[in-house]
Amino acid sequence: NAGVMQNPRHLVRRRGQEARLRCSPMKGHSHVYWYRQLPEEGLKFMVYLQKENIIDESGMPKERFSAEFPKEGPSILRIQQVVRGDSAAYFCASSPRHMDLTGGTGELFFGEGSRLTVL
C-alpha cells in the first residue's frame, strides 16, 4: 500500500515535553501539507513543504512549532514544550506536484492522522 503513512497514530505527552509526528507521502509525491483538526474548528492549514523547502508556513504558530521535509526520509512536524491546547489530530496530506496555476488541479491524499494528547 503506497498511501500516506503517518506515525505514531496516537501520542501522549506531558506538558513541557516534545512531540514529533512523522509523515511519509504517497509514492511519487514530493509535496506535503500538514493540517490540524480540533473539535468545533474543522481542519486548519499549518504548513506546506516540498523536499528541503518550506513553501508556505502561514498557518504555523510562531513559537514551539516547526516542520521539515528532508531530502531523505519522512516529513517531521515538531512541537516543543507541548501545552494542553496542542491536543488535536494532526493530518498530513500529499500531492504529486506543486499546485500552482499550471500544476496539479487535483485533490490531496491524506494520512490517517496522529492524535496528540497532552496531559
Partner 1 sequence: AQSVAQPEDQVNVAEGNPLTVKCTYSVSGNPYLFWYVQYPNRGLQFLLKYITGDNLVKGSYGFEAEFNKSQTSFHLKKPSALVSDSALYFCAVRDIEGGSYIPTFGRGTSLIVHP
Interaction site with partner 1 (CB under 8 A): 4, 6, 33, 35, 40-45, 48, 55-56, 91, 93, 98-101, 103, 105-113, 115
Q: For residue 50, give the C-alpha cell.
A: 516540498
Residue closer to partner 1 by CB (options 10, 15) is: 10
Find where cell 473539535 sits: 39
Residue closer to partner 1 by CB (options 14, 58) is: 58
Cα 53-114-24 angle, rounded to 5 deg:
40
Closest contact distance (angstroms) between CB of 81 and partner 1 is 27
Cα 38-39-45 angle, rounded to 5 deg:
30
Cβ–Cβ < 8 Å for 96, 31: yes
Closest contact distance (angstroms) between CB of 6 and partner 1 is 8
- In whole angstroms, give the CA distance from residue 105 to residue 99: 6
Closest contact distance (angstroms) between CB of 113 and partner 1 is 5
Closest contact distance (angstroms) between CB of 53 and partner 1 is 14
Residue closer to partner 1 by CB (options 13, 36) is: 36
Residue closer to partner 1 by CB (options 42, 85) is: 42
- Quick count: other Cβ atoms within 10 Å of Cβ 77? 27
